[in-house]
Structure 1
Amino acid sequence: MATATAGPAFAFSAVTIRGNSSARLSGFDFSYSTIPQLSPFKSSSPHLAFSPRGSSHFVRKNIFQASIDGVDSLGDADNIPTPIVLIDQGSDPSATIVHVSFGDRLGALIDTMKALKDLGLDVAKGTVTTEGSVIETKFFITRLSTGRKVEDPDLLERIRLTIINNLLKYHPESSARLAMGEAFGIQAPVKKLDRDIETHIHVKDAGPKRSLLCVETEDRPGLLLEIVKIMADVNVTMESAEIDTEGLIAKDKFHVSYRGASLNDSLSQVLTNCLRYYLRKSETDEDSY
């Protein structure tokens, strides 16, 4: 996969991405070999890299641009890819890693980066890669106040919702694939989940000092906070999390412990039963949003 070559640096004054128009990016220095012509949903020259002035870097291995004029036709919902937002709090000791993909439609996400900064976060570095027809953007983020990874579940949930809100805003067609498109998008999801099979909860051994909790359920705002609260109610500690939003479904994994040890069978069953009860109760709540 190609990387950028050195060249003259340019600074642009504002962020404007509309349909086929060019992009002006505030607060970023560009080094380039060629500046590509941007067009909706298409790849262009792979020779571009940029970095926020004064600190971190963002490496673009291929550059893509999305149409975000807010009035695009949704087209056939069956042909719209599944949006994926994955927050990995455990893989890097010094940063929280955020993966975002939306098939071949993902844009530069400069507005998403700005929204993360508005939450008091620093985008330490990032990459844009492609695998087949799927474009994935990966951010490494830390708290501006501490320079450390994000630990607060409330802030992790705000990060997730901020990214999803940006997907709904700049890729309005994604609302047909996201659970939150029901309330906040321009079109509710066409396909609904089967209420009888959508929630799956498992607790597995992950060594003598911690267990792995896997939760798969219907996505909704505040889901992470619900799960963490239920853990706290039964005195289970969340050590790290992988928060994976795939369209309508949340597939979350948590490393958990009880007083510095893994969960025994009895506590695992208690936690599973509590989660199942509260999550199913929320699923049947008419005002779940």
Structure 2
Amino acid sequence: MAVTMASCGSTLGVYTKLVAFEKQPVPKSAFFGSSFGSDPVKHLSNSSKPRLSYSLSTMIPKASATAIEDGSLQDSDVVPTPKVIIDQDSDPNATVVEVTFGDRLGALLDTMNALKNLGLNVVKANVCLDSSGKHNTFSITKASTGRKVEDPELLEAIRLTIISNLLEYHPESSAQLAMGEAFGVEAPTKKLDVDIATRVQVYDDSPDRSLLAVETADRPGLLVDLVKIVTDINVAVESGEFDTEGLLAKAKFHVSYNGKALIKPLQQVVTNSLRYFLRRPSTDESSF
């Protein structure tokens, strides 16, 4: 593993099990395109809502001296917004992950070890410094294949592993992260209205694919849900980026239908389906 440090102008053994309970699981090839031939425009995006739920079995290791910058927590009146970016576009051979938390992050060696426990290799690590702080970037591959991670469930496991370690080693981040309410020491005092926070747009990207942009309140299992909702209407998710920014999750996916960009009616179906599934549940419903 190569580790380098540079200045940059701009611009992670916690998770043990993530299981999506649904009649049909998310396709393993979901991030690399798979269309099924039926006409998705005829699919009713507001039909009976399936139950998308997750079983998380989490074991959080004890903090070690490598996890915190200079071996101690930094006290500050202003806690920066933690960011975790999972990038499937930058490197054709690896999944690139970036973690930012102001200047509070250390070498994150414990996080890299936790990723190895998921059957992953950290093949390269870079630390970039700029005015916003330290950006820790990892290039990750599956140990069994040497290739980038394609399975949405494993990508979500990577995300939860990093966030769980961040919450353990930097407990001051708990109130800044949506996950702090699920398994942090302090729940966020600010809560997002999911109806207001949710934005879905589809853009023309090229003749062969479209760009789907989603912004919504973060929660465990969200990445898997997004991919499943889209693939359930026979739209292929080829690649993309999933960002966790404090309480928000921001996703950008390249999507296609039968190897082509989405036509306007299909763009509307995708948009309506995601808005419907991501909205606040009613008193009669227990899932998004």
Shorter-normalised TM range: 0.7 to 0.9
The answer to whether the aligner puts 1:59 opposite 2:4 as a matched pair is yes
The answer to whether the aligner puts 1:218 opposite 2:221 as a matched pair is no
Structure 1 unaligned regions, length at least 5: 1-55
Give the 3 Å change call, closer, same or farther, for CA 187–74 of structure 1 in structure 2.
farther
Check whether the contact 1:220–1:288 (CA below 8 A) recurs between aligned residues: no
Give the 3 Å change call, closer, same or farther, for CA 286–113 of structure 1 in structure 2.
farther
Q: In structure 1, what is the equivalent of residue 58 of structure 2?
A: none
Q: Distance in 2 between matches of 1:284 and 1:96?
A: 39
The answer to whether the aligner puts 1:258 opposite 2:203 as a matched pair is no
Q: Distance in 2 between matches of 1:288 and 1:188?
A: 21
TM-fit CA distance, 1:286 = 9.2
Check whether the contact 1:67–1:170 (CA below 8 A) recurs between aligned residues: no
Equivalent residue of 1:104, what SS? coil
Counterpart code for 2:144: S
Structure 1 runs (4+) greater than 3 angstroms displaced: 60-65, 72-76, 281-289
Q: Distance in 2 between matches of 1:255 and 1:221?
A: 22
Check whether the contact 2:86–2:98 (CA below 8 A) recurs between aligned residues: yes
| TM-score normalised per structure 2 | 0.74
Check whether the contact 2:68–2:170 (CA below 8 A) recurs between aligned residues: no
Q: How do residues 1-289 of structure 1 correspond to structure 2 at under 5 angstroms?
A: 56-61=1-6, 65-66=68-69, 76=77, 79-281=78-280
TM-fit CA distance, 1:133 = 4.2
Counterpart code for 1:207: S
TM-fit CA distance, 1:57 = 1.1
TM-fit CA distance, 1:60 = 3.3
TM-fit CA distance, 1:168 = 0.3
Give the 3 Å change call, closer, same or farther, for CA 148–181 of structure 1 in structure 2.
same
Q: Distance in 1 between matches of 2:124 and 2:284?
A: 40
Check whether the contact 1:64–1:108 (CA below 8 A) recurs between aligned residues: yes
Q: Percent identity?
A: 60
Q: In structure 2, what is the equivalent of residue 42 of structure 1?
A: none
Q: Distance in 2 between matches of 1:67 and 1:284?
A: 48
Give the 3 Å change call, closer, same or farther, for CA 272–111 of structure 1 in structure 2.
same
Greater RCO, 1 or 2 (C-alpha within 8 Å, sep 6+): 2
Instruction: Indicate the larger mover: 124-133 or 59-68.
Output: 59-68
TM-fit CA distance, 1:288 = 6.7
Give the 3 Å change call, closer, same or farther, for CA 65–195 of structure 1 in structure 2.
closer
Structure 2 unaligned regions, length at least 5: 8-65
Q: Distance in 2 between matches of 1:155 and 1:125?
A: 19
Q: Distance in 1 between matches of 2:80 and 2:203?
A: 31
Which string of whole-angstrom CA distances, capped at 9 and with x for unpartnered residues, describes residues 225-258 of structure 1?
A: 1111111111000000201000000011000000
Q: Distance in 2 between matches of 1:272 and 1:206?
A: 16
Equivalent residue of 2:279, what SS? helix
Equivalent residue of 2:206, what SS? coil
Equivalent residue of 1:60, what SS? strand
Counterpart code for 1:255: H
TM-fit CA distance, 1:164 = 0.3
TM-fit CA distance, 1:195 = 3.9
- Number of equivalences: 230
